[in-house]
Amino acid sequence: MKDYESILVNRLKKYNLKKDVIKVFLELIKIKSKEDNLDILKNFGITDKDIKNFCEIKQILLNTDECLKKRINPIFDYLKDFIYKFLDLFCNFTEDAIHNFVIDCIELGFVLEKENENIFDFYRAQNILSSYTIEAIRNYKDEHQDVSIDVFSLTASFVKFSHFASEVVSLAYYEKLIADKVHEVYVKSTRDPLSNLYNRTKFNDIKTHEFFRSKRYKTTLSLCLFDIDDFKKINDTYGHTVGDRVIRELGRIILDNIRKSDIAFRWGGEEFLILFTHTHMDEAKLACEKLLNKIRKAEIKEGENTIKFTVSMGITELKEEDDSIEKAVERADKALYNAKRSGKNRIEILI
């Protein structure tokens, strides 16, 4: 027996889903009875009689299949491959085919959401497919004068299967939609809108992870705490709008001059923090010197005035005896205080 759960997990990796969302879909393909490879369909109310009816429906559609494809193609081009699989499944009710179809349904729901395709297009395609199938069954019975064909029973079975596919696709679509919205809200809640850096909330979310990662793998972690020199004077002289522009420009300079592995935060007010992961203190100092020089060259134009600003920086690194990352932040804060007291616009280190 194939490991369908692993297949599904691997297919869904590219959508960056959380474990609890993936768990919802793993429940869909879980087989409760090893003796019944159609167990997954019965979870959706599809009976043995329905399965027999599907095979009969497929035989009826065999001669009209191409006509159906021609009707679907120009309307829902991006759905045609899925609909072909939907039709082909009628002749191939094997464990493998059913599980692959369910996995395709789940992935289609994610694709519809990711590509901003309308889920209602999918419903319309399903309705067209259902209407055409019901019409084909009635026409077949009339043309062949076959009284053994139970139009109502065949139609009911087909609608059941159509609803089964719709339920799985819809579940995937809305789960992904909700997951994306939750992620969007989280991102907004952890990013400072003015500087475009992470905020204190994000720091609190990752600090334990970064601390234990550094301890577990014996990797170095350096910190730089810094603030804008005489920021109150800038606000008092030019107004808070200019002060906001200074913070915005500083955020841009920081993001443009740190590595992807470094994490920058607006610590509060005019104060900022950078975590230099996998970085010794001397390497962090070189990075901060480069950043300090970039900041010294920055200018804000306000009418005829050109506003320049500087920062003072305090650097430290996580020590073996530290029992939390906050201990390193405290040392960086003391180093920052020393930089202020020593004339500002400079870097101080505290081991």
CATH at 267? 3.30.70.270
- Quick one: 170 and 227 in the same domain? no
Region 68-91: mean pLDDT is 61
Q: Look at the pTM and tell me if it is higher than 0.75.
A: no
> Which range among 31-40, 60-69, 169-178, 306-315 has the greatest average pLDDT?
306-315
Our count of domains for the chain comes to: 2
- Quick one: 51 and 13 in the same domain? yes
Percent of the chain scored above 90 by pLDDT? 45
Region 50-56: mean pLDDT is 79
- Quick one: 258 and 331 in the same domain? yes
What separation in angstroms does the CA of 179 have from each of 5, 119, 273?
Answer: 20, 16, 30
What pLDDT, on a 0 to 100 scale, did the predictor assign at position 186? 87
In a domain, 194, yes or no: no
Rounded distance between C-alpha atoms, residue 190 and residue 205, angstroms: 9
CA-CA-CA-CA torsion sign (318, 322, 328, 331) = negative
Q: Given a cut of 70, is residue 33 above it in pLDDT?
A: no
What pLDDT, on a 0 to 100 scale, did the predictor assign at position 58? 73
Residue among 154, 150, 176, 44 at smallest CA distance from 102: 44
- Quick one: 172 and 229 in the same domain? no
What pLDDT, on a 0 to 100 scale, did the predictor assign at position 248? 97
Categorize the per-residue pLDDT at 139 as very low, low, confident or very high, splitting at 50, 70 and 90: confident
- Quick one: 255 and 138 in the same domain? no
- Rounded mean pLDDT of the chain? 85
Residue 23: both structure tokens together: 């768990």
What pLDDT, on a 0 to 100 scale, did the predictor assign at position 175? 83
Categorize the per-residue pLDDT at 154 as very low, low, confident or very high, splitting at 50, 70 and 90: confident
Rounded distance between C-alpha atoms, residue 280 and residue 12, angstroms: 37
Encode pLDDT of 102-119 as tens digits: 888 888 888 776 655 677
Tell me the sheet residues that pair with 35: none
What pLDDT, on a 0 to 100 scale, did the predictor assign at position 293? 97
Q: Given a cut of 70, is residue 67 above it in pLDDT?
A: no
Region 220-244: mean pLDDT is 96
What pLDDT, on a 0 to 100 scale, did the predictor assign at position 227? 97
End-to-end CA distance of the chain: 59
- Give 99 or 249, the one with higher predicted confidence: 249
Region 125-129: mean pLDDT is 77
Parallel, antiparallel, or unpaired for β 311-317 and 347-349? parallel
| Listed residues 159, 189, 219: the one ending a domain | 189
Rounded distance between C-alpha atoms, residue 135 and residue 265, angstroms: 63
In a domain, 288, yes or no: yes
> Which CB contacts under 8 angstroms, 24+ apart, belong to 303-310?
305/238, 307/234, 307/238, 307/242, 307/246, 309/228, 309/229, 309/231, 309/234, 309/246, 309/250, 310/228, 310/229, 310/344, 310/345
Range with the lowest mean pLDDT among 34-43, 142-151, 261-270, 319-328? 34-43
- Quick one: 222 and 296 in the same domain? yes
- Quick one: 172 and 134 in the same domain? yes
- Quick one: 41 and 172 in the same domain? yes
Rounded distance between C-alpha atoms, residue 61 and residue 44, angstroms: 24
- Quick one: 138 and 217 in the same domain? no
| Listed residues 158, 189, 220: the one ending a domain | 189
What pLDDT, on a 0 to 100 scale, did the predictor assign at position 35? 53
- Quick one: 84 and 228 in the same domain? no
CATH number at residue 182: 1.10.490.10
| Listed residues 164, 189, 214: the one ending a domain | 189
Region 218-239: mean pLDDT is 96
Region 19-46: mean pLDDT is 70
Encode pLDDT of 79-88 as tens digits: 666 766 776 6
Rounded distance between C-alpha atoms, residue 17 and residue 204, angstroms: 22
In a domain, 252, yes or no: yes
Q: Given a cut of 70, is residue 196 above it in pLDDT?
A: yes
- Quick one: 126 and 146 in the same domain? yes
Residue 304's domain comprises: 200-349
- Give 291 or 183, the one with higher predicted confidence: 291
In a domain, 59, yes or no: yes
Catalytic hit among 107, 270, 317, 348 = 270
- Quick one: 295 and 207 in the same domain? yes
Tell me the sheet residues that pair with 307: 300
In a domain, 195, yes or no: no
Residue in this structure with the two tokens 């919205």, named with its chain if needed: 181
Judge whether 270 counts as a catalytic residue. yes
What pLDDT, on a 0 to 100 scale, did the predictor assign at position 36? 54
